[in-house]
Structure 1
Amino acid sequence: MSSLSNSLLIPVEVRGMKCLDRKKFSRIVILPILKIPDEKLSKITQICKSYFLKLSNFMPVQILQEKNSENFNKCIYLNPDKVSKWLDISEADRTLLKQLNIADDNFDKKEVQLNYDNFKHDEIFKAILPENEEVVSGFSQIGHIIHLNLRDHLLEYRSLIGEVLVDKIKTCRTAVNKSSFIDNTYRNFSMEVIAGEEDFLVTVKENRCIFQFDFSKVYWNPRLCKEHERILEFLKPGDILFDVFCGVGPFAVPAAKKKCRVFANDLNPDSFKWLNHNAKQNKVNMSLFKSFNIDGTDFICNTFRNFIIDYCNGTEKLENGSKICVTMNLPGMAVEFLKHFVGLIEDEKLKDKFDGRIVVYVYCFALGDDPYSIAKKMVCDNIGADVTSSITDVFDVRNVAPKKEIMRVTFNLTKEILFSSSKKELSGEPPNKKHCKNIIFDN
């Protein structure tokens, strides 16, 4: 789509419109054209391609329906932002066109009727919304739902914005504006339908799996698709995955499909419901899949802990070369749960029996100029010791605001952490006394 930098094509009177009036986009415009013979069409279009007028539902090359035009039966519509006269075409291109007997005489102008259907949503927003202000810079699509986080100055235009998106994006049936803040325990947003159907049940395809869920009640971020894929690439068949904050299963379900053994947990009962639904819909081998609807602390201190104890006692096994992975995708607070791994196993007799490898992928928001150092420090601070030697990777997942990044820190959860009797012992300082299990993690 060519960038329309002025009001040559879109009428100026639509500026500030708050109630969408599609008829106001209808107007007759005068456009530059080149008259060309049909037999030389392919060669001429190659030369003129960069000058084409590109609009929705508009063919830049059309039949020229004029009298006395037998020799020139086609015309190319040119972008008026680039070409208003023959000499606006570069000298090099004019030379090539002259070799095909196309010259100044072939240049002309023609009246054309344009309407709302000829413009894409970004062009319409640029024409309607306030000048010198940020327009609708981006949005996410989750199934048939378009999700926006509109700035305050755009809120009075929200119904119009929603209508335009439902009109212009074929797969969109619903447009919602959501708060940019996740303001409750279950990580779902306050939401307002600004256009279309009030239908929140969506279907999303990701990593060869189909996910269904009620978008108004669970958390889903389509911008994390690539990150889900990256973690799945780290997992191998036979690995064991503990997904502490699993949502509706973007890590857990494809991992189980990959023949990993999965323990998936989410506190949100709606996420738990759709997690199990998605596991069944994707025909996961349920002998490899266990789901939990408990707090992350309980999941770590009971489910994960019991597995490690059983592994040390030989009642749980790891295939040769397999590893235990822990995903903690709750950037707002996941690092706060790291303290529960410190001294998780009290029976020191099991320490020598533990020979497995545990890899933790923990996500956090890093605010500042050096997100890599900030993310490392957050992990160390919450574990209560300098564990930088165990950190194998710090990855910038995506930017969410100026100087605010979602970071993923990957580190090895060592037996020194799991079997430490206190944070002082972990940091190399002699412990004063044995800490009570119930208060060891208080900061």
Structure 2
Amino acid sequence: MSSSSSVPLAPVGVRGMKVLDRDKFLRNVKVPVLKVKEENLSKIIRICKPYFLKLEGFKTSTTIDDEEFKKCIFLNPEKVNDWTDISESDRTALCELNIKEDNFGNKEIQLTYDNWRFETIFKAVLPENEEGVSGFSQIGHIIHLNLKEHLLEYRPLIGQVLVDKIKTCKTVVNKCNAIDNTYRNFSMELIGGKEDYFVTVKENNCTFQFDFSKVYWNPRLGKEHERILSYLKPGDVLFDIFCGVGPFAIPAAKRKTKVFANDLNPDSFKWLNHSAKNNKINSVYFKTFNKDGKDFILDEFKDYIIDLCNGKEELSGKIHITMNLPAMAVEFLKHFNGLIKDEKLSEKFNQEIIVYVYCFALGKDHVEIAKKMVIENIGCDVSSCITDVFNVRNVAPNKEMMRVTFKLTKEVLFSDSLSEPPSKKLCV
């Protein structure tokens, strides 16, 4: 590349705009071009591709009114300012096609709001030297933001730009507070588009429908849902204690894992059953409950284990327990400790139980922090039963969403919780 300075290609004079004015993004700019004949055009375009001027709604080549040359190829002024900015090997290849420095020139074009990507607009408008719109989630037609304090005054502009620029977006919301620990939802503010929160999303070969303003759904967890589902086999049983609208439960039941799905949020319960029906889930493999997690463990899970020991239930596979409520799921682990106090039943029990519990680990050593949270909350040393500690995703600086996988043994499940202090009991 030559030492010639590149021309920044961005809107000008719009810094600090808080109400979108599309006309202000009009800009005339001179850009480098190559004038070429139609002969060998496909070969020329292939060589020039790395230097193309790529903008929304903008053609990288156009027909021109010229006796000798029929086409004009637009190049990116941030990459190319003169002929020598094209690499030597590419210039040699172009020369072999009779494209030389004489073909190189400049042409003035007019760019409008329609040509700028939303990232470029935000960089030009929002405060310099501050974190911008760093990322967002899209759930169906809804874009969900969690804007920093310094961006709140730009909400109307941000919302409108995203509706304009992302074809699949019809609604933009900004999170107003932390996720409510009871129902796992949060209040949101409409900042762009129409107030329509009913969405349809697809994940793991299932279709889910729900009112996003009433339930919890995080598209960033799709891969984690897929990972857990890969562990489940036909003949297994899944107890999904905080199931939400069913991203674990519904695909698992579809694969003929017997599922007991529970969520305290009545709206999650409603849409869980709605999606189960839409996905034609066989009721033989699917039972739903609208209970507190503690009651679900003390009632449904306990009764199932007792019935299993007494031969009223049959199980050819493993028992899996998912606890995806990272803000407080570990607090429910204590209810497994000494859940059943019957030595005779203990002697009959020989099934494998695998627990997948999620938590937020704040600090430096996230793995050790997550392990400690599990051990302290279940009330006995299950360190030897922990088979995996997995970092699901980064939530914030020094805050990770972790998944601890461990085997829930009958020594814990059938222990006499009153016989000795929790710290003394071991997982054996």
What's the TM-score once normalised by structure 1's chain length? 0.92
Distance in 2 (CA, whole Å) between partners of 1:335 and 1:254 is: 24
Residue of structure 1 equivalent to 2:175: 178
Q: Which amino acid aligns with 2:92?
A: T
How many Å apart are 1:56 and its aligned residue? 0.6
Q: 1:107 to 1:290 in 2, by over 3 A?
A: same
Structure 1 counterpart SS, 2:127: coil
2:337 paired residue among 321, 334, 342: 342
1:27: how far off?
2.3
Cα distance in structure 1, aligned partners of 2:345 and 2:211: 44
Which one-letter code corresponds to 1:389 in the other structure? Answer: S
Match of 1:66 in 2: 65
Rounded to whole Å, the distance in 1 between the matches of 2:393 and 2:177 is 16
- Which region of structure 1 is more displaced relative to structure 2, 34-43 or 258-267? 34-43
CA deviations 1:348-403 (Å, max 9, x no partner) are 11111001111100000011111111111111111122211111111110001111
Correspondences of 1:40-439 after superposition (within 5 Å): 40-63=40-63, 65-68=64-67, 70=68, 72-179=69-176, 181-319=178-316, 322-422=317-417, 429=424
- State the distance in 2 between where 1:423 and 1:15 align: 66
**Aligned mates of 1:236, 1:15 — CA distance in 2:** 56
Give a deviation string over 1:273-317, Cα, whole Å, max 9, x none.
111111111100012111111100000011100000000011011
Query: Cα RMSD over matched residues?
Result: 1.7
CA gap 1:359/1:73 in 2 versus in 1, 3 angstroms: same
In structure 2, the CA distance between the partners of 1:428 and 1:127, relative to structure 1 (3 Å rule), is closer
Consecutive unaligned residues of structure 1, counting only runs of 5 or more, are 432-443
Contact 1:244–1:299 (CA<8 Å) still a contact in 2?
yes
Q: Tell me how far apart the structure 1 counterparts of residues 349 and 394 of structure 2 sit (CA, whole Å).
A: 38
Q: Give the 3 Å change call, closer, same or farther, for CA 184–327 of structure 1 in structure 2.
A: closer
SS at match of 2:40: helix
Q: Which runs of 5+ in 2 are unaligned?
A: none
Q: In the alignment, is the contact (CA less than 8 A) between 1:82 and 1:88 conserved in 2?
A: yes
**Greater mean alpha carbon deviation, residues 181-190 or residues 338-347:** 181-190
Q: CA deviation at 1:184?
A: 4.5
**Superposed displacement of residue 104, structure 1:** 1.1
Q: Letter of the aligned partner of 1:199 in structure 2?
A: D
Deviates more, 1:368-377 or 1:333-342: 368-377
In structure 2, C-alpha distance between the alignment counterparts of 1:236 and 1:183, rounded to whole Å? 33
2:97 and 2:419 mapped to 1: Cα distance? 84
Please tell me whether the aligned partners of residues 417 and 426 of structure 1 are also in contact (alpha carbons under 8 angstroms).
no
Identical aligned residues as a percent: 69
Q: Report the Cα offset of residue 59 of structure 1.
A: 1.4
Query: d(CA) in 1 for partners of 2:344 and 2:158?
Result: 64
Alpha-carbon shift at residue 31 of structure 1 (Å): 1.1
The TM-score with structure 2 as length reference comes to 0.95
Partner SS state of residue 395, structure 1: strand
Q: Size of the alignment, in residue pairs?
A: 422
- Deviation of 1:423 after TM superposition, in Å, equals 7.2
Deviation at 1:50, TM superposition (A): 1.1
| Residues 19-39 of structure 1, C-alpha deviations (whole Å, 9 max, x = no match) | 101111122221110111212
Distance 1:429 1:191, change over 3 A: closer
Q: Residue 13 of structure 2: SS of its match in structure 1?
A: helix
- Paired letter, 1:13: G
Amino acid at match of 1:297: K
Cα deviations across residues 122-158 of structure 1 (Å, max 9, x unaligned)? 1111111111111101000011100000001100000
CA distance in 2, matches of 1:175, 1:306: 45
Q: CA deviation at 1:51?
A: 0.8
CA distance 1:430–1:133, shift in 2 (3 Å):
closer
Query: Alignment partner of 1:42: what SS?
Result: helix
Structure 1 counterpart of 2:377, one-letter code = N
- Residue 6 of structure 2 contacts residue 79 of structure 2 at CA under 8 Å; is this kept in 1? no
| 1:424 Cα deviation from its structure 2 partner | 6.5
Would you say the 8 A contact 1:187–1:219 is kept in 2?
Answer: yes
